[in-house]
Amino acid sequence: MAEVDKDKLYQFLLRMGDNTLILGHRVSEWCGHSPVLEEDIALANTALDLIGQTQMWLGYAGEVQGEGKSADDLAFLRDAWDFRNVLLVELPNGDFGRTMMRQFLYDAWSSIMLGHLQKSTDERIAAIAAKASKEAAYHVERSSGTVVGLGDGTEESHNRMQAALDYLWPYVGEMFASDEIDLAMAAAGIAPDPANLRDEYDALVGRVLDEATLAIPAGNYVHKGGRDGRMHTEHLGHLLCEMQWLQRAYPGCEW
């Protein structure tokens, strides 16, 4: 592996781990509230997969940082401005259709990114990606099937899925916004430049949305700021209050 700035590698690992951590928490909020039992179980398993991936990404991030922090420390003891997830994953669930549309839009990106990361010059990242990509392949198959079923379903389900896509699409572009961290990872062969994944992503998403009879919204505006910590939505703070309160209230608690 070519020499790489450790802080930039750390930031990249935070981005990967924070995406799965925050989305995993969001999806877990459906446990006990899904429309049918099968979906309740499926979403709970998806959340568990994402949290498992978080353990690997943030565990490695802690090692690279070199301050003796564990994955739990990074998950529960950072403030909102220290998180590096894309804004898409921190948005509230909304109705079931919006949740599944958000899941599909993320799964499509994740499946592509992880596929490329399996060729990383960093053996640890390649190994994490190899394991996570198996889960991501199932996730994108399931979420895309749900998007098609609801988009090409009843008039009500179609309208809700189109509304979900209209709301979420402006958040998609952030996943492909490159900066100096991405360029450093690409130069070292650690990770692809996300900007180079957009065509592959658009082809995958376009096929599914066509089958779902859903139209990609016009306009090029992109919400961003989460990946570099410049700006998060107000929703992240509320999510972290719920997710972190036990560890914050009882530091170092064990059971």
The rounded distance, in Å, linking the Cα atoms of 77 and 73 is 5
How much is the mean pLDDT over the chain?
95
CATH numbers and ranges of domains, the chain: 6-249 (1.20.1260.10)
- Which pLDDT band, with edges at 50, 70 and 90, does 37 fall under? confident
Share of the chain above pLDDT 70, in %: 99
Mean pLDDT of the region 74-99: 97
Phi, psi of 253 (to 5 degrees): -65, 145
pLDDT, residue 32, reads 87
Contact 110, 138 (CB under 8 A): no
Question: What's the count of helices (H) and strands (E) in the chain, helices before strands?
Answer: 9, 0
pTM summary value: 0.95
pLDDT, residue 1, reads 55
The rounded distance, in Å, linking the Cα atoms of 48 and 228 is 26
pLDDT digits (tens, 9 = 90+) for 189-245: 999 999 999 999 999 999 999 999 999 999 889 999 999 999 999 999 999 999 999
